[in-house]
């Protein structure tokens, strides 16, 4: 373990010595932002280190992603192809009309059918701003994920991500990492994630545009970021960075925060009826519980899912 740590530190040092001046992408990620996260790379996988709160957040993000995907599965085929074994989903709240035993049986049947179809799916994922690979690895271990492509502009973070992924044989061939900007990514994906990265760019609308172009039809874009308000400044900067020290100082800048309503308005303006907002939830960190969802997405942190029609 000690030899591996020393080897990793040597690689990170060589990255810094040999790096040509980083070019900022058209999506507006500055060299200051990249340098900040490069300085955190060596402790990225320390669950009690600089990214401790991100490790805890990852659990909530995974729950959200899996719930959205599971709820998006079409249980029945087209009416002409339907069989007598298909699950019947009434167009009303059946739990309010059926006896408890019947409604429970219907719910169980729906869950089992969705789970069965989910296991047969093989989805390709693009993780934008993957950092050291916390989310990418977690997604790569899901049985219905075929491959995860993680991209980031911080070479040291990508080095750490690659090194850590090699320690898990189950991830071989399922996860790959690249020092690359979003606009230079080729191909299409079933899922694109932009988690905790929009608040670190100067042009979030460019990120939305490029991320949307990378989605297959009926693909899902997942976003998690922070509203631009006093509550956000107080919780994420004043308290988290300056008082409690659970987030490294200089990580966040209020001027870069993005309101959830602005993202929704961007889709309304640019995509019209070609998208569906699947869910939008506020999120908050409670020390004794971790990250939890709530129904006030216009304050503080939030997470959302948008499907391409």
Q: Which helix (H) or strand (E) holds 280?
A: strand 275-286
Q: Measured between alpha carbons, how far is 273 from 234 in angstroms, rounded to an integer?
A: 36
Q: Is 173 annotated as a binding residue?
A: no
DSSP letter for 122, please.
-
91 is in an annotated binding site: no
CA-to-CA distance for 228 and 225, rounded, in angstroms? 10
Q: Which residues contact 255 (CB under 8 A, 6 or more apart)?
A: 228
61 annotated to a ligand binding site: yes
Residue 249, annotated ligand binder? no
Q: Is 195 annotated as a binding residue?
A: yes
How far is Cα 103 from Cα 89, in angstroms, rounded to an integer? 11
Tell whether 222 is in a known binding site.
no
Q: For residue 34, give the nearest of 195, 139, 158 by alpha carbon.
A: 158
CA dihedral (153, 156, 159, 161) in degrees, to 10, reads: -70
Pair of tokens at residue 95: 């739990």
**Burial environment of residue 128 by CB neighbours within 10 A (0 to 12, 13 to 18, 19 or more):** buried
Q: What are phi and psi of 248, to 5 degrees?
A: -55, 140
Distances (CA, A) of 115 to 67, 78, 83, 102, 111: 11, 19, 19, 20, 6
Q: Is 199 annotated as a binding residue?
A: yes
What pairing do the DSSP bridges indicate for beta strands 275-286 and 301-308?
Answer: antiparallel
Please give the Cα distance from 224 to 135 (Å, whole number): 12
Residue 23 has what DSSP assignment? Answer: P
Binding residues for Mg(2+): 196, 199-200
Binding residues for S-adenosyl-L-methionine: 61, 129, 152, 195
Binding residues: 61, 129, 152, 195-196, 199-200
């Amino acid at each position: 373990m000690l030899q591996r740590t020393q080897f990793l530190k040597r690689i990170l040092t060589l990255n810094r010595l040999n790096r040509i001046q980083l070019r900022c992408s058209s999506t507006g990620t500055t060299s200051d932002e990249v340098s900040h996260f490069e300085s955190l790379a060596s402790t990225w996988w320390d669950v009690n280190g600089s990214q401790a709160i991100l490790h805890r957040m990852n659990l909530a993000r995974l729950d959200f992603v899996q719930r959205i995907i599971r709820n998006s599965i079409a249980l029945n085929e087209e009416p002409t192809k339907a069989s007598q074994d298909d699950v019947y989903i009434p167009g009303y709240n059946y739990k309010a009309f059926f006896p408890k035993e019947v409604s429970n049986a219907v719910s169980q049947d729906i869950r089992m059918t969705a789970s069965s179809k989910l296991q047969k799916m093989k989805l390709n994922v693009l993780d934008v701003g993957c950092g050291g690979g916390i989310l990418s690895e977690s997604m790569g271990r899901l049985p219905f994920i075929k491959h995860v492509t993680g991209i980031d502009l911080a070479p040291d973070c990508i080095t750490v991500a690659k090194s850590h992924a090699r320690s898990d044989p189950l991830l071989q061939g399922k996860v790959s990492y690249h020092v690359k900007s979003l606009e230079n990514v080729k191909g299409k994906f079933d899922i694109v994630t932009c988690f905790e990265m929009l608040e670190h760019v100067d042009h979030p609308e460019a990120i939305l545009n490029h991320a949307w172009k990378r989605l297959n039809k009926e693909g899902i874009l997942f976003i998690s970021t922070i509203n631009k308000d006093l509550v956000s400044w107080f919780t994420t900067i004043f308290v988290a960075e300056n008082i409690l020290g659970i987030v490294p100082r200089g990580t966040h800048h209020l001027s870069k925060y993005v309101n959830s309503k602005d993202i929704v308005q961007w889709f309304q303006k640019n995509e019209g009826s070609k998208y569906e907002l699947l869910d939008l939830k506020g999120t908050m960190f409670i020390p004794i519980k971790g990250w939890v969802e709530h129904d006030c997405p216009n304050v503080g942190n939030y997470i959302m899912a948008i499907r391409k029609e």
